[in-house]
Amino acid sequence: MTITRFMTNTDNRPVTSTSSASISYFASPSELQEPLFDSTNMSRDNIRRHVRQERNSLSPQEQTQFSLIASRHMLAEIQTQSAQHVALYLTHDGELATQKLIDALWELNINVYLPLIHPFCKGHLLFVRYARDSVMVKNQYGISEPKLNVQHVITLDKLDMIITPLVAFDHHGNRMGMGGGYYDRTLAHVKDNKPLAVGFAHDCQEVSQVPTDFWDIPLPVIITPTRRLAVK
Ligand SMILES: Nc1nc2c(c(=O)[nH]1)N(C=O)[C@@H](CNc1ccc(C(=O)N[C@@H](CCC(=O)O)C(=O)O)cc1)CN2
Ligand SMILES: Nc1ncnc2c1ncn2[C@@H]1O[C@H](COP(=O)(O)OP(=O)(O)OP(=O)(O)O)[C@@H](O)[C@H]1O
C-alpha cells in the first residue's frame, strides 16, 4: 500500500511525502485535529447510529460549506479521471450535498446518473440518467429518483465513476452504508476499478475501524472536505 501525503503550505501549494496509505490533505492540519471516533468493539448498528447523529448535527452553514469544498475536490477528481458517465446520489440524512456538483457536471456536459431502487430485484440498484428535465418520483425512503425509463438505464460497465454515499468509513477504505446492502451488491460487480468507486463523506464520518463482513467491498478512493484517501 503506498501513501502519498500532501500537506498544504501557507501559500496553499501541496507538499508531498511518501509513507503507506495515500492521503492528500486539502486543508491545513489545524482543521484536521478532530479526534477520530473510536469504534473498536462497537456493533455496526451502534456505529451507524452514532455517525448519522454526528453528521445530522452539523449546522446548516457547516453543511453548505463542507459540501461546497468537497464538491470542488470531487469535480477535480472527475476531471482527472476524464470521467464522462458519473453516478451520484441526491442528498439524504445529512450526507454531503451533491446538487451543486451535479449542476457543475451538467454545465460540463458530463452525464449524471442516480441510483434507483430496483423494482423487482430486492436489494439491488439500477443507475438511471439524471438530466435537468428528468421526471422524479420518491422512493420508499423518501429520496427522489428518476422515473424508470429503460432507455435511460446505464449498465455498470458503461459508468466511469460511482460516487457512493456512505455512513461510516475507515482509513482502509471500508465503508458502511444505510444498511440495505444496495451499494455492496453493486460494488460486488466492479472489475479492475471500472467504474471507479469513490466515497464522498464528511470528515466526521470517519471512524477508527468499520467492522467488515465478506460482502463488504472497500472503496479505492474516499473524498472528504479536507482529504483524499486512496487505498491501493
Ligand atoms: N442519498 C442516498 N441515496 C441512496 C442511498 C443512500 O445511502 N443515500 N442508498 C444506499 O444504499 C440507497 C437507498 N438506501 C437507503 C436505505 C435506508 C434508508 C433509510 O433512511 N432508512 C431508515 C428506515 C426506513 C425504513 O425502515 O423504511 C432509517 O434507517 O432511518 C435510506 C436509504 C439508494 N439511494
Ligand atoms: N454482495 C451481496 N450479496 C448478497 N447480499 C448482500 C451483499 N452485500 C450485502 N448483502 C446483504 O445486505 C445486508 C446489509 O448489508 P450492510 O449492512 O453491509 O449494508 P450497507 O453497506 O450498510 O448498505 P448500502 O450498501 O446500501 O449502503 C447484509 O445483511 C447482507 O445480507
**Which of 126, 215, 216, 222 most suits a substitution to test ligand 2, by most atoms within 8 Å of the C-beta?**
215
Residue 232: pLDDT above 80?
no
**Mean pLDDT, rounded, for 119-147:** 98
Q: Is 185 in the pocket of ligand 2 (CB under 6 A)?
A: yes
pLDDT of residue 18: 37
Query: Among all ligands shown, which has an atom nearest to the Cα of 177?
Result: 2
The model's pLDDT over 159-169, given as tens digits with 9 standing for 90+, comes to: 999 999 999 99
Query: Among all ligands shown, which has an atom nearest to the Cα of 143?
Result: 1
Query: Among all ligands shown, which has an atom nearest to the Cα of 163?
Result: 1
229 CA to centre of ligand 1 in angstroms: 24
* All three cell numbers of 116: 434507483
Residues at CB less than 6 angstroms from ligand 1: 89-93, 95, 115, 125, 141, 143, 165, 177-180, 182-183
Residue 42: pLDDT above 90?
yes
Residue 9: pLDDT above 60?
no
More confident residue, 217 or 51: 51
CB 171 within 8 A of CB 21: yes
Residue 220: pLDDT above 80?
yes
Listing from the earlier edge strand, what are the strands of the sheet with 3-8?
14-19, 3-8, 22-25, 227-230, 221-223, 196-200, 161-164, 85-87, 111-117, 125-129, 153-154
C-alpha to C-alpha distance for 232 and 223, rounded to whole angstroms: 15
**ipTM associated with this complex:** 0.95
User: Is the C-alpha dihedral spanning 97, 98, 99, 104 positive or negative?
Assistant: positive
C-alpha to C-alpha distance for 147 and 97, rounded to whole angstroms: 21
Nearest protein Cα to ligand 1, atom 28: 178
The model's pLDDT over 71-102, given as tens digits with 9 standing for 90+, comes to: 999 999 999 999 999 999 999 999 999 999 99
Banded pLDDT at 33 (limits 50, 70, 90): low
C-alpha to C-alpha distance for 92 and 56, rounded to whole angstroms: 10
**Which of 56, 88, 143 most suits a substitution to test ligand 1, by most atoms within 8 Å of the C-beta?**
143
B/e letters for 132-155, b = 16+ CB within 10 Å, e = fewer, are eebeeeeeeeebebbeeeeebebe
**Mean pLDDT, rounded, for 191-215:** 96
**Which of 44, 118, 184 most suits a substitution to test ligand 2, by most atoms within 8 Å of the C-beta?**
184
What is the number of the ligand 2 atom nearest to the C-alpha of 166?
Answer: 27
Banded pLDDT at 114 (limits 50, 70, 90): very high
Q: Is 211 in the pocket of ligand 2 (CB under 6 A)?
A: no
